[in-house]
Structures are given as C-alpha cells and as structure tokens.
Chains A and B, each alone.
Chain A
Amino acid sequence: MSQEVLDLIVKKVDGFLGEEVVGKKPEPPPEPEPEEEPKAEEAEADDPKAKARAARAKKAAAAKKAEEPKPPARLNFGKPLIELPSEKWSVELAELLRDDPELQFDFLSCITGVDYEEHMEVVYNFYSTVKKHYLYLKVITPREKPSVVSVDSVWKAADYMEREIYDLLGVDFPGHWNLKRILLDDGWEGHPLRKDYITDKKALGLD
C-alpha cells in the first residue's frame, strides 16, 4: 500500500512542478575500478587471517553498495520518502499536500533540521488523520546560505518547529511571521547543532 501512496505523491508533486523532480531516476554511479578479487577462501579455510580478510572485503563491498545514490522518491522503513531541492519547495506545494483530496496531509508531526556538512536538510514528517498515511519530505538546501520557505501559514505547527531549527541550526525560513531564537538567549552566538560549532567549554564551566 505504501508503494501506491508513494507513486501517487510522486505523480502529484511532479505534476504540480511540471517537470520530473522527485520521480527522476538517479544517475548510475561511475564504474568502480576493477578490484583484486580476494583469494578464494577455500584454499586457506583454516587460516583465521585469510578469513578475516575475506570478511573485511565483503563488508567494504557492502559499504560501496550503500553509497550508490538513492532515488529521490523511495520507501524508508516502509514509508514514502521524497527529496526536493529547496528552490522547488513552496507554500503552494505545501497547500497541495494538505488540501489534495487524495493526499490530505493535515497533520505536521515533526520538522527536523540536519547539518550534513556539504549541505543542509529540513525533513518534514507528515501524517494524514483521514487517509492514515505518512510522508517523509526532505528539503535540501545549500550550507552557505540555508534557506527553506516557511510553511507556517499552511500548518501553524511549523511556527515553533521552524523557530527551533532557526535557533539551533541557523536555517532561514523566509515568510515566517516571527522568526527569532526560541530556546537560546537572544544574544547567543552561533548555532549549536551545526557540525562545526565549537563548544566553549570554559564559558560553560566545563574546563
């Protein structure tokens, strides 16, 4: 059932945007350099070192596989997930998610800001109390000037959630009615949840 919901969301979102954004297939990764096959384990089955080496090689291959780019629309633990660049995310698209009779994402559960060092992400978790389905929506924004349009006018729940992300991660939410720090002091410098934030241990009395 979740796959159907995902297909429906992709159809609606791409239909709204007028181009293939979330439905796009990822480009295949460049062919990896042919690697030396680890020597057949059978010959040295008794040698524990060879066994460990083989296990490591297997692990590395699995890790490589995990690094393959994921499609922007996929199932994450059985729930639909889509990715969007921040310039495609808009109040109108948010309204579509909320008001479309087949989608009806009327409940905004949670907004999470994540600093991935090369970019930033704002993840929305939606739930429909009518249709009983879910959506992870990831909005990707550059790290130098992170900015994601505010959906405070669509779901009021975003009011505090966006302020918290602004406060702790420094993501700008243009269109927010009252964007200012919420948990930290007004005069606080920096955004603690950024990965390059340096904790001043002295000021905190830890040193």
Chain B
Amino acid sequence: MSIKTETMTLNMGPQHPSTHGVFRLLVEVDGETITKAEPIMGYLHRGSEKLAENFIYTQFIPYTDRLDYMNAMTNNYVYCAAVEKLLDWEIPERAEYLRVITMELNRIASHLVWWGTYLLDIGALSPFLYAFRDRDHILDLLNEISGARMTFNYHRIGGVKWDAPEGWVDKVKEKVKVLRENINEYDTLVTGNEIFQARTIGVGKLTKEQILNWGISGPLARASGLKIDIRKEEPYSIYDRFDFDIPTQEEGDVYARYKVRIAEMYESLKIIEQACEQIPEGDIIHKKGARIMMIKPPAGEAYTRAEASKGEIGVYAISNGKNKPYRVKLRRPSFVNVAILQDILIGQSIQDLVAIFGSLDIVLGEVDA
C-alpha cells in the first residue's frame, strides 16, 4: 500500500549562511527528494551595465572589481581588453606579464576561498582557516602592487597602473614555492577523507550534454569531461607562451569539481613561475593610455572573453566613437552557471542541497551585477 504524500515548499534564503551572499532558493520537496528548484536573485543588483553608459571608459574599471570580487583581476582585464580591441592598441610586454601574474595569483586566491568555504559548508571547519591564511598572503602581494586587497582597479586600458615594486617578482617566486607545499598539504588533508568523499562522490552529477545545453563554463565544465579553457581555446594576453595543462575529470560530480579546482591551482602556479622567469623590463602601459583619460575608440563592437575562476567572463562593448561606451554587456559566469540549479537539484535529496549548491562556486555580486 502506498502512502499519499504532499509536497512541501521550502524557502532557503535570502539570508542563508551557505549562499555567502543574498540569494533565495525556493525548493519543492516530496519527502526528502527535491522535485523543483527556483532561484530568485537580484538583491544585489546595482545596474552595472547602466552605470557603464554614464561613465567615460576609464571610469568603469573599478566597477568591474565589484562583480566577482573574489577574482577582480580577470574582470579588470577583460573589460580593458575589450576596449583595447576596439582601439587596436598594442600592449607593452611587461604589462602583459604583470597582468598574467596578477590574474593567476587571483585565480588561486579565488579557488582557495572556494575550497575553504565549501568545506565549511559541508561541516569541516579547520580547512577554512588554512585556506584564508594562504589567501591572505596572496592578497598581501596583490595589495603591494595595486594598493587594494580585493577591489584592485589595477589593469588599465593599455596596460597596468603600477609597475611591480622592487623585489616583488622575487617575493612572488618565493610564495609560489610555499603555496605549492601548502596546497599539497591541503590536498592530503582533505581529498582522501572518507566523510568528505561520502558526501561528494556521485552527488550532483552533470553530464557533458547538460553542460553544453546550459552554457556552463569553467571548472564545472571541465569536471564533466569537457576540455574547454579559453586560455587554450583562444589564447588572450600572452597565455600562448606558457606551458600548462587543463585538468579535467570525467565523473561530473561534486568530487570531480573539487579535484579540478585543486589541480588548477597547481597549473596556475606553473604559469606564475614561468611568467616570473620571463618577465622583461620596459613600459607598463601603452603611451596613449598613460597620457589621456579621454579615450574615444572608433565606432565598432566586439565580444571579448577570458577564463575567470568561475568560467567564461565576457564583455560585449559597443562604441559609437564618443567618449562613453554606447553599451557594455557583461557576461558573468556565475549568472549563467546558477541557472543550472533548476536542473541539477531535481531528484537529489534535500541534505545534498548545500553540498551541490556550494560546488557551483557562484558569487552573488557577479550574479546580480
């Protein structure tokens, strides 16, 4: 005899500790099984795209910091690169190296934050403390070069704002060694843990077809066996000069995503090491970019994309030849990736909700723009 049960609607958020931001999720459960999930967002909407139309080109750079504030360097970069594409400017070598070093350092910092807070979400407290210790060392380095810990405002149209202070590159080299050891330690501390594996293996699976259909990019895509990374697909900046791999996993579950992110941190360290060896002396900004504030790109439009720590970040910039952009569209990876919640949660049990949600690694500043 089957018992007739009624579904129940649960409201998670907008103030829920596991969302690390303001985000609401309406879930319908039948017993313990999720039958429907509806993300509700926009609590942090600041109208970034609207703001862009009211500023001159240079003024919008600090606003990109506030999208994904865990990975602001790449946001800075992709916006500047979009405008540079319209301007058709050549960027000085040293600036490109500084950009790559800062972007990769930032990627590790972002992955460390995910690593720490994700484990916190599923009940492991101490990894958080380790992760934030190392992340803080990275932020110190970035602070030294840019003057800010998170909202860097460091990249400029045509290059970067400041040259590396004396001895900075050597400090980075030293830090790479320490980080490699520490990440290895974290890896051995958590990855093989039985409880951790029980909570993550086979949970929240995504197939390759789902990934493509939903436009998912970044570590989520690579954890489902899709070897796409814009740094390799369409090498921007000077990424074609470095020797690094794209880590992938086939399983597509939460554990696979975890492993991809850990492996990516090692690859980023590899890139930083090579960049620190190769970095030449020279200018750090295009001579026009250093001199003029009022940039007027010729009329035109272009889509520029880069690999952020969360996935594909893109800027569709349209210029009508004036000093303010006609339109700036921000393709934010978190916003696109969060849509998958409508699909990935169906049929999963309610106790896995936080484990799955956390594994997506979204930042609400970026979702809401």
Contacts and interface: CB of A to CB of B under 8 A. Distances in A.
A136 B45 contact: no
B213 A155 contact: yes
B316 interface: yes
Interface in B293-336: 298-303, 305, 312, 314, 316, 318, 326-327, 329, 331, 335-336
A192 interface: yes
B129 interface: no
Nearest to A154: B213
B305 A109 contact: yes
Given A168-B49, A192-B50, A184 B336 contact: no
A203 interface: no
By DSSP majority rule, is chain B's interface helix, strand, loop, or mixed? mixed
Interface string A152-187: 000111011100100010000000000001111100
Nearest to B46: A183
B366 to A, nearest CB: 12
A129 B326 CA distance: 30
A21 interface: no
A156 B215 contact: yes
Interface string B208-221: 00001111100000
A136 B314 CA distance: 14
Given A77-B85, A157-B213, A159-B339, A136 B303 contact: yes
A160 B336 contact: yes
B273 interface: no
A114 B215 contact: no
Contacts of B335: 160, 164
A202 interface: no
Given A156-B339, A182-B42, A184-B45, A110 B299 contact: no
B49 A155 contact: no
Interface size of A as a range: 20 to 34
User: For B215, B312, B335, which residue has the most chain A Cβ atoms within 10 angstroms?
Assistant: B215
A14 interface: no
A106 B342 CA distance: 20
B350 interface: no
Contacts of B216: 157
- Per DSSP, chain A at the interface is mixed
Contacts of A108: 215
Contacts of A89: none
B302 A77 contact: yes
B166 interface: no
Given A110-B329, A114-B327, A129 B213 contact: no
B314 A109 contact: yes
Nearest to B45: A183
Contacts of B228: 107, 129
Contacts of B316: 110, 112, 123, 125
Interface string B277-304: 0000000000000000000001111110
Interface in B268-282: none
B209 to A, nearest CB: 9
Interface in B196-242: 212-216, 226, 228, 233
A155 B19 CA distance: 27
A115 B336 CA distance: 22
A115 B50 CA distance: 12
A157 B336 contact: yes
A157 B339 contact: yes
B192 interface: no
B81 to A, nearest CB: 12
Given A155-B215, A183-B41, A183-B42, 18 more contacts: A109-B303, A109-B305, A109-B312, A109-B314, A110-B316, A112-B316, A112-B329, A115-B327, A136-B303, A157-B213, A157-B214, A157-B339, A161-B215, A181-B42, A183-B369, A184-B42, A192-B47, A193-B53
13 contacts: A66-B298, A76-B301, A77-B85, A106-B212, A110-B316, A112-B327, A113-B329, A114-B326, A123-B303, A157-B339, A161-B336, A183-B369, A193-B50
Interface of A: 66, 76-77, 106-110, 112-115, 123, 125, 129, 132, 136, 155-157, 159-161, 164, 168, 181-185, 192-193
Interface of B: 41-42, 45, 47, 49-50, 53, 85, 212-216, 226, 228, 233, 298-303, 305, 312, 314, 316, 318, 326-327, 329, 331, 335-336, 338-339, 342-343, 368-369
